[in-house]
Amino acid sequence: MNAPFLQGRTALVTGSVQGIGFAVAERLAAAGAAIVLHGLATPAEADRAATALREAGAPDVRFLGHDLRDPAAIDALMDEAIGWRGALDIAINNAGIQFTAPIVEMPPERWDAILAVNLSSAFHVMRRALPGMLSRGYGRIVNIASVHGLVASVNKAPYVAAKFGLVGLTRVAALECAAAGTRDSGGITANCIAPGWTETTLIEPQIAARAAIVGGDRETAVADLLREKQPSLRMSRPAEIGELASMLCRPWAHNINGITLPVDGGWTAQ
């Protein structure tokens, strides 16, 4: 099951210098894909991530640091990503930012930034990636949504709105591309993964805020957050999300299309 089934393929993973994005990129690298690494990172951070991906098995890695808040920058990113090896077979839209506040206190600029990075950037990436995928009969769009693309939480209006939008956008792409390609070529699919609580830096501000309420202890804060939402009472590891994204890229997954797969310990089953 760990054979290099993506040998000869090229994958773009946005927001992939750390966290879930890096874990996804690392798993695709292990499957033989060349990786377009992306993120807002220092040269040293980008070099460390690129080295790790090569060690994982990527035949080549290219780092791009374009700002996903800017559609023109995304166009430039896609020009480079597609032109690098002449094709882009896999696009993983993972980049995301977060800010928590009630709607009445949400700074409008935070709303705009979160919608731009967490939703609009996925549209711009897909708009540029899909034509080549359609022409070759194989392509994978995997959008890292969130449990908040399926259920809401207080104080997360822009994040929830963006993730619900991402789920809808993915379903439209799945329908538009469903008949392209063949079973043998692998077809074109678009799917979402919806993680619940996962061990990433994105949730550290929420853990810190909860720790302040429960006496300053981080472990108690994490347990309290899990008890509130996630029945398994344990977080996912980023590598587990990477395994799932890799699975969706396999040729036999040609009929797994338009789904949003929760990895949430039963959160959305309640």
Instruction: Just list the catalytic residues.
Output: 159
* Cα–Cα dist 146/5, whole Å: 27
Q: What is the dihedral of CA 237, 238, 241, 247, to 10 degrees?
A: -110
52-65 CB burial, b ≥16 within 10 A, e <16: bbeebbbeebbbbe
Pairing, β 90-93 against β 61-64? unpaired
DSSP string, 68-110: TT-HHHHHHHHHHHHHHHS---EEEE-------B-GGG--HHH
194, 264 in Cβ contact below 8 A? yes
Q: Two tokens at 48?
A: 């460390």
DSSP string, 108-160: HHHHHHHHIIIIIHHHHHHHHHHHHHHHHTEEEEEEE--GGGTS--TTBHHHH
Sign of the dihedral defined by the CA atoms of residues 28, 248, 238, 161, in that order? positive
DSSP state of 33: -
Sign of the dihedral defined by the CA atoms of residues 146, 150, 153, 158, in that order? positive
190, 183 in Cβ contact below 8 A? no
